[in-house]
Structure 1
Amino acid sequence: MWRMEDLLDLYMQPYDEAYPVVCIDERPCQLIGHIQLSEPPQPGRPAREDTEFSRHGACSTFLMFEPHAGWRHALVKATRTKRDFADCLRYVLNEKYASASKVRLVLDNLNTHTPAALYETFPFPEALRLMKRIEWHYTPLHGSWLNMVEIELAILVNQCLKRRIDNIDRLQKEIAAWEQERNAQRAIVQWRFTPPDARIKLKHLYPSHENTSS
């Protein structure tokens, strides 16, 4: 419950470029190709795609999203390890937000999403430097829907990934084109769920103070 309130309060804070709120998460992507060539659309007939497909392994897409600024960036990785996660954090801190005082990071409770990832990837002084520039905000257990990047990931899937892509290079190019268009639009999330809303709609999650004495 307290993690939910922490995140909802964070989302209500005014935009501050010195303390950007960045939501991060990743999803697996199956690399799938065609066995038979697809038939292009014809007048009065849609494109045809054979139901058979070939598998070419899997990879992971890490998505970083700053909801208040309408910015997102995806990194496609062959694996989904602590090192991959740490590389994403280094990109956020060293390249995108090098001048920020601190990045307020929103993430779920996956076992790779910890400061330990920095220490297992970088020399200790660098790991400490990076860690000190992050303010960690975790979603509640079973509450990853409170991470706004989940909304952006769903849009990525619907607009870009619902088709057969058989290799990482092509996947990177397709996602980069999607990302460029979304960033040009400065697309944001209209988040309206606040702590007062949570105390009403999710009242059963809160402890009762009716019988406590002052």
Structure 2
Amino acid sequence: MPNRPAYLIALNDPDRAVLETWARRRKTAQALSLRARIILACAEPDATNSGVARALGVSRPTVQTWRQRFAQHGPDGLLDEPRPGAPRRISDADVERVVTLTLEAEPTGAATHWSTRSLAKASGMSQSAVSRIWRAFALQPHRWETFKLSRDPLFVDKVRDIVGLYLNPPDRALVLCMDEKPQIQARSPTAPIVPMRPGQVERHTHDHVRHGTTDLFAALDICSGRVVGECRARHTAQDFRAFLDTIDQTVPEGLEVHVVLDNAATHKTPLIHRWLAQRPRYHLHFTPTSASWLNMVEGWFALLTRRQLQRGAFRSTHMP
């Protein structure tokens, strides 16, 4: 049979830019990249289907097919058409019914929440289908979290006061976030730690030996990020006053000191009141009740716990 005449490929600048992008970009699918190179080669003067096929290592019918598709539909003709695939068996109404049951109904019996199997039985669907629907809508009935609301009648005023200190500290003043981290345990495993190796995580014994506890007093300078810390055996009012003495020795004279702290009873004893009365440059700002997250030193405590304490092994409460 005589060969069919080749379709003429004349590329304008936008089409050539699209094809060159598809041909060069690393994230382009290999099939689309090959089709783009075929059309670019066919656009060369005196290019034949046989010559392009030999140059790119494909068959002549392949070059004919994509040359025709591009001539008829442009760059969109090189894209794969959607394939029908298997017919859908789960309708939108089925998905809505599963989501509604998950959010608004409770399982029968003594269960407190749905599982994929119990919901599959109640809805008449497979367990894997329920699991896919839950993942699609980010539903996790087996998980729950707690929260606590502050009942402080002056909540708004205290938040504005403390956030104002953070955003706009007073001139010639130091803003310190102060708190205690009590009952830090010095403990070590009952056997040596097995270090991490390829394919194996670090391993500790499930039990440990306690070597005492210590209480950490810390004050965070919000401007410089510097932390003044001190460990003590207890966290009584006397210990808090001793830590205030430590702070007083580190703060240069002539600076006002604004201290953000919580509502612990040890912060409001007559001993502390007398100490503050003798040092008028100190100003206390109490966080609302049940709102310790407003104290920035709590973030530093969390970082210390995560990086130093959780997996650490300590045989004494005394600093080396």
TM-score, normalised by the number of residues in structure 2: 0.47
Shift of 1:157: 0.8
Which residue number corresponds to residue 165 of structure 1?
314
Partner of residue 89 from structure 1, selected from 211, 231, 244: 244
- The equivalent position to 1:10 in structure 2, one of 123, 140, 165, is 165
The answer for unaligned runs of 5 or more in structure 1 is: 174-214
CA distance in 1, matches of 2:158, 2:232: 29
Q: Aligned equivalents of 1:43 and 1:12: distance in 2? A: 47
Preserved contact between residue 65 and residue 71 of structure 1 (Cα < 8 Å): yes
Q: Please say if residues 102 and 134 of structure 1, whose CA atoms lie closer than 8 Å, have aligned partners that are also in contact.
A: yes
The structure with the greater share of residues assigned to helix is 2
Change (3 A) 1:19 1:85: same
Structure 1 residue runs of 4 or more that deviate by more than 3 Å after TM superposition: 40-47
Distance 2:213 2:226 in 1: 26
Give the 5 Å matches for 1:23-62: 23-28=177-182, 29-42=184-197, 44-62=199-217
Q: 5+ unaligned residues in a row in structure 2: which ranges?
A: 1-155
* Alpha-carbon distance change, 67 to 127 in structure 1, aligned in 2, over 3 angstroms: closer
Which residue number in structure 1 is paired with residue 258 of structure 2?
A: 104
Residue correspondences, number: 163
| Alignment TM-score, normalising by the size of structure 1 | 0.68
SS in 1 for 2:173: coil
CA contact (8 A) 1:33 1:55 kept: yes
Q: How does 1:136-151 map to 2 (within 5 A)?
A: 136-151=284-299
Partners of 2:190 and 2:254 in 1: CA distance: 48
CA distance in 1, matches of 2:297, 2:315: 25
What is the deviation of 1:15? Answer: 6.4
1:129 aligns with 2:284: no
Partners of 2:169 and 2:266 lie apart in 1 by 30
**Could you tell me how far 1:145 is from its partner in structure 2?**
0.9
**Does structure 2 retain, via aligned residues, the 8 Å contact 1:93–1:133?**
no
Name the CA distance, whole Å, in 2 between partners of 1:167 and 1:100.
Answer: 39
Is the contact between residue 237 and residue 269 of structure 2 (CA under 8 Å) also seen in structure 1? no
> What is the Cα deviation at residue 3 of structure 1?
1.0
- Cα deviation 1:10-60 (Å, max 9, x = unaligned): 1121464x3100000111212212222223344554433211101223211
Distance 1:127 1:136 in 2: 9
Which of 1 and 2 has greater Rg?
2
Amino acid at match of 1:159: R
SS for the counterpart of 2:265 is coil
Cα deviation for residue 167 of structure 1 reads 1.4
Do structure 1's residue 116 and structure 2's residue 270 form an aligned pair?
Answer: yes
Higher strand share: 1
The 2-side partners of 1:88 and 1:11 are apart by 23
Q: Give, as a single letter, the amino acid of the residue that structure 2 aligns with 1:165.
A: F
Output the aligned Cα RMSD: 2.1
Tell me the distance in 1 between the aligned counterparts of 2:257 and 2:269: 14
| 1:64 aligns to 2:64 (yes or no) | no
- Give the 3 Å change call, closer, same or farther, for CA 145–100 of structure 1 in structure 2: farther
Measure the CA separation in 1 of the matches of 2:194 and 2:300: 31
